[in-house]
A and B are shown apart, each in its own frame.
Chain A
Amino acid sequence: MSADVAVNVENLTIAFGAFKAVDDISFCVEAGEIFGFLGANGAGKTTCIRAICGLLSPTAGKITVAGRNVADDLMAIKTLVGYMSQRFTLYPDLTVRENIAFAGALRKMPARRILARSKELFRFTGFSYPQDTLVQNLSGGVKQEVALCASLLHDPAIIFLDEPTAGVSPASRARFWNLIKQLSAAGKTVFVTTHYMDEAEQCGRVSLMQTGRIAALDTPQNLKAANFPHPLYEISPSPAAESDFAAALAASGAGPVRPWGLRYHLEEQNADLWRKFSAERAGQFSQRRIAPTLEDVFLKLVGGGAA
C-alpha cells in the first residue's frame, strides 16, 4: 500500500442487530486531502468514523489507517489520529486549561509539551478567552474551537471531525472551515462529516452517504459535472402561473424537474420540448441558467430529506 493513503476502507459493514448502519462500503482517503462525508442524520457517517478510529468493532470488512490495520494495531493508530466527536466532548465543569491538560495527560504528553502546544494551537485558532474560564460558560462556536485544540494537541497526522459545526453560528462555521483548510495546507489529512452542502463544497473529495451506503464519491466539481451534463435552469413561477403549472412542467418531457423551495430546477435534456413548453406557458414563469451545486447532486442521487 502506498504511503500517501491515509485511510483505506474495504467492504466495511457495521450492523446493530438486523440494522445495518454501514453496509458494505469501500473507499480510500489520500494523505493531505480534506475528505468529506455528506449525508442526512442516520446515513451512517458517525458510525463509520467511529469504526475507523477504533471505537467500534466492525461486523465485517477491513480498515487500515496510515497503513496499519485497525484490528491489530489499535493503540498505534490512536496515537496517530485526532478525533473530535459529534457530541460535545469537553467537560463543562472543568476550565479550558484543565480540559486541555487532561487531553494531554490521556496521551501521556509531558506538561511542558502540553503548554507549548496549547499556546501554539490557541494562537492558531485565535482563542482569546482566559484559560481559566469554565467550558460551560463558553459559546457553542468557541467550545468547538477548544475541542479542536484538544484533539490536535498531540499533533496527529490524520484528523477526524464528526460534524464539528453542528449548532454553531454561520460566522463561527466560516472561521472553523478556515482552520480546516489551514490544517490541510500544513499537510494534515482531514476527514470531516457534515450535513451542510456549502461545507461539503469545500472538501477535496466528497462521499455522498445514504442509509449506510456510498451513493457517489468524487471531487465536488466532478460530481457536478458527471451528474449534470445538461444545462440546468431555475424556473420561478410568476403570480400569473396556472395551478397546474408544476404538473405540466414535470409532464413536459423537457427533463427531470426538482422542486427547489418555491422554484424548480430543471435539467434540460430535451431542448425542443423545453422550447415548446416555454412557448405554451409564456409569461407564467421566468428562467435562469444556473451552475449545479452539490445540493443538486445530492437531491438527484440521494433524494429529498437531507440538509
Chain B
Amino acid sequence: MKLNPAIVGFIKKELTQALRDPRLATLIFLVPVIQLTIFGLAISSEVKNISLTVVSRPGDYLARRIEERAVASGWFSAVRIDSPAAQDYATLLREKRTEAVVAVAPEGLRRALERGNAKIQLLIDAANASRARQVEAYVKNVIARALADNSQAPPLPPVKLDLRVLYNPSLESAIFLVPGIMAMILCIITVIVTSMAIARERETGTFETLISAPVSTGEILAGKTVPYILLGLAEIPIIIAAAVTLFGVPLRGSLFQLAGAGFVFVSTTVMVGVLISTFAQNQQQAMMGGFIFLFPALLLSGVMFPVENIPAGWRLLAYLNPLMYFAKLLRNIMLKGGDWGVFWTNIGALCAIGAAIAAVSAARFKTRLN
C-alpha cells in the first residue's frame, strides 16, 4: 500500500510542531501523568475525616465512650470545645470548626438511659446533603456500638448482610476513579490540541498556503487529524502504565479491547476538535468552543455522578457524550475484564457518534476562504 505523501507530510509537520516546544510536549505527555497521580491520590468518594464534637457534662463516661468509639472507627476526628454549655452549636458548624455535634442530655447519658427517656441531639452541617446523610448513618452506628459495649449481652442484629464491593473490594478510591480520570484527561488533550492546531493555521494565514496546493478537502482533513489521533494513541500506554504501576489499577481485559476503544475514542474526540475549529475564526474562539464542549462532557461523563440520575430530558445529552461511553469502556475493560456485550454496544455507540461528528465536520470544513 502506498501512503499518500501529502498526508505523510502532514503527519511529520504536525508532530514536529506539537513536540518541538518542550513546554507543549511536557503538557501533552508528562502533565497527564502528574494529574492522574494527584487526582488519584486526592479524591475519594468515601466520607472520611468527619470532625465530631461530643458535648457532655465532665465525667459522663458514656458520652466519652461515644467519642472514643468514633475516633477508633477511623472515620472521625474529635473536636473538643471549651465551656460547651455556653456555645451556640450552629455557630460552631457555620465556622466549620466541626461538622457534627452530638449533644447528650444535661444530666448525663447514663442516668438518662436508666430513666428510659434518653435523648441525644445530633446536629449535622448539611450543606453537602449526601455527605450529611452518610455522617448521620455513621454517627448513629457509633452511638449504637458505644452503648452496646455497655450492655451485658449485645444482641446480634436479625439480618446479617454480607456486603461485597466487586472489582474493588478494599474500596480504594484510586481504583474507582483512575479509569474515569484517564478518560477525562485524554478527552481534554485531544480536543484542545486538534481544534487549536486548525484554528492556528486560519489565524496566522498558513491555511491559505494549504488550500492553494492541489490537495483535496479529504486530504487536508486526514492530514490535520491523523497526527493527533497518533498523538492521543501514544498517550494511552503512558497513562495506562501510570495507572497500573502507581495505583495498582488492574488491567483485567484484553489489550485488543483497550486499543480498539482507545482508537475509536481518540478518533472521535479529534473529530470533535475539527468540528469546533470549523466554527472558530481564531484560537481564542476555538478555546471557548473547546470549553463549551468539555464542560458538559466532563460533568456528564458518569465519573462525577451517575448518568442514570440525570432527569430524562437532559439524559439525552449524556447519551451523546463520547466521554461517557469511553469512561464506561475503560472501567469495564480494566476492572471487569471486558464483557464483550458491553464492549460492542459502547464501541458501536462511540462509532455512531464519531461518524456523525466526522460527517458534520467534513461538511462544514471549508477549503475556501470567505
Q: Contact partner of B212 among A55, A105, A108, A110, CB < 8 A?
A: A55
On chain B, the residues within 8 Å of A16 by CB distance are: 370
Q: Using an 8 Å CB-CB cutoff, how does the interface string of A70-103 with B read, 1 for contact, 0 for none? A: 0000011011010101011111011000100111
In the complex with contacts A50-B369, A75-B214, A93-B17, A108-B6 CB distance below 8 A: yes
Q: How far does the Cβ of B226 sit from chain A's closest Cβ, in whole Å?
A: 13
A168 beta carbon closer than 8 Å to chain B: no
Q: How far does the Cβ of B197 sit from chain A's closest Cβ, in whole Å?
A: 11
On chain A, the residues within 8 Å of B369 by CB distance are: 50, 55-56
Which of B67-75, B203-211, B276-284 contacts its partner? B203-211
Q: Is the CB of B17 within 8 A of A56?
A: no
Q: Using an 8 Å CB-CB cutoff, how does the interface string of A230-248 with B read, 1 for contact, 0 for none? A: 0000000000000000000
On chain A, the residues within 8 Å of B214 by CB distance are: 75-76, 78-79, 107
On chain B, the residues within 8 Å of A90 by CB distance are: 206
On chain A, the residues within 8 Å of B212 by CB distance are: 53-55, 78, 81, 83, 85
Which residue of A has the minimal Cβ distance to B11? A105
B213 beta carbon closer than 8 Å to chain A: yes
Q: Is the CB of A91 within 8 A of B208?
A: no
Q: Is the CB of A106 within 8 A of B368?
A: no
Chain B interface secondary structure, helix, strand, loop or mixed?
helix
Q: Is the CB of A110 within 8 A of B205?
A: no
Q: Contact partner of B205 among A57, A85, A106, CB < 8 A?
A: A85
Which residue of B has the minimal Cβ distance to A160? B212
Q: Which of A56, A75, A105 has the most B CB atoms < 10 Å from its CB?
A: A105
Q: Which of B12, B208, B368 has the most A CB atoms < 10 Å from its CB?
A: B208
In the complex with contacts A93-B20, A94-B13, A55-B208 CB distance below 8 A: yes
A83 to B208 alpha-carbon distance, docked (Å): 9
B5 beta carbon closer than 8 Å to chain A: yes
A54 to B366 alpha-carbon distance, docked (Å): 13
Q: Contact partner of A105 among B5, B17, B209, CB < 8 A?
A: B5
A104 beta carbon closer than 8 Å to chain B: yes
Task: Classify chain A: how many residues form its interface, as a range.
Answer: 20 to 34
A107 to B216 alpha-carbon distance, docked (Å): 11
Q: How far does the Cβ of A254 sit from chain B's closest Cβ, in whole Å?
A: 49
On chain B, the residues within 8 Å of A179 by CB distance are: none
Which residue of A has the minimal Cβ distance to B201? A91
Q: Is the CB of A107 within 8 A of B16?
A: no
Which residue of B has the minimal Cβ distance to A106? B213
A306 beta carbon closer than 8 Å to chain B: no
On chain A, the residues within 8 Å of B213 by CB distance are: 78, 103, 106-107
Q: Which of B16, B21, B209, B215 has the most A CB atoms < 10 Å from its CB?
A: B209
On chain A, the residues within 8 Å of B13 by CB distance are: 91, 94, 98, 101-102, 105
B8 beta carbon closer than 8 Å to chain A: yes
Which residue of B has the minimal Cβ distance to A134? B20
Q: Is the CB of B210 within 8 A of A85?
A: no
A5 beta carbon closer than 8 Å to chain B: no
On chain B, the residues within 8 Å of A83 by CB distance are: 208-209, 212
A9 beta carbon closer than 8 Å to chain B: no
A54 to B214 alpha-carbon distance, docked (Å): 10
A109 beta carbon closer than 8 Å to chain B: yes
Q: Using an 8 Å CB-CB cutoff, how does the interface string of A264-304 with B read, 1 for contact, 0 for none? A: 00000000000000000000000000000000000000000
Q: Using an 8 Å CB-CB cutoff, how does the interface string of A32-72 with B read, 1 for contact, 0 for none? A: 00000000000000000010011111000000000000000
Q: Is the CB of A89 within 8 A of B5?
A: no
Which residue of A has the minimal Cβ distance to B206? A89
Q: Contact partner of B215 among A57, A76, A81, A106, CB < 8 A?
A: A106
Which residue of A has the minimal Cβ distance to B209? A89
Q: Is the CB of B205 within 8 A of A88?
A: yes
Q: Is the CB of B9 within 8 A of A89?
A: no
Q: How far does the Cβ of B283 sit from chain A's closest Cβ, in whole Å?
A: 14
A87 to B368 alpha-carbon distance, docked (Å): 16
Q: How far does the Cβ of B243 sit from chain A's closest Cβ, in whole Å?
A: 32
A57 to B209 alpha-carbon distance, docked (Å): 16
Q: Is the CB of A88 within 8 A of B204?
A: yes
Q: Is the CB of B9 within 8 A of A91?
A: no
Q: Is the CB of B12 within 8 A of A105?
A: yes
Q: How far does the Cβ of B119 sit from chain A's closest Cβ, in whole Å?
A: 73
On chain A, the residues within 8 Å of B8 by CB distance are: 105
B319 beta carbon closer than 8 Å to chain A: no
B10 beta carbon closer than 8 Å to chain A: yes
Interface residues of chain A, those whose CB is within 8 Å of chain B, are: 16, 50, 53-57, 75-76, 78-79, 81, 83, 85, 87-91, 93-94, 98, 101-110, 150
Interface pairs (22), CB distance under 8 Å: A50-B369, A53-B212, A54-B212, A55-B212, A55-B368, A56-B368, A75-B214, A76-B214, A79-B214, A85-B209, A88-B204, A94-B17, A98-B12, A102-B12, A102-B13, A105-B8, A105-B9, A105-B10, A106-B6, A106-B210, A108-B5, A109-B5
Known: A98-B13, A103-B213, A105-B9. 15 other contacts (CB 8 A): A55-B208, A56-B368, A78-B212, A78-B213, A78-B214, A83-B212, A85-B208, A87-B204, A89-B206, A101-B9, A101-B12, A102-B10, A105-B13, A107-B213, A109-B5
Interface residues of chain B, those whose CB is within 8 Å of chain A, are: 4-6, 8-10, 12-13, 16-17, 20-21, 204-206, 208-216, 368-370
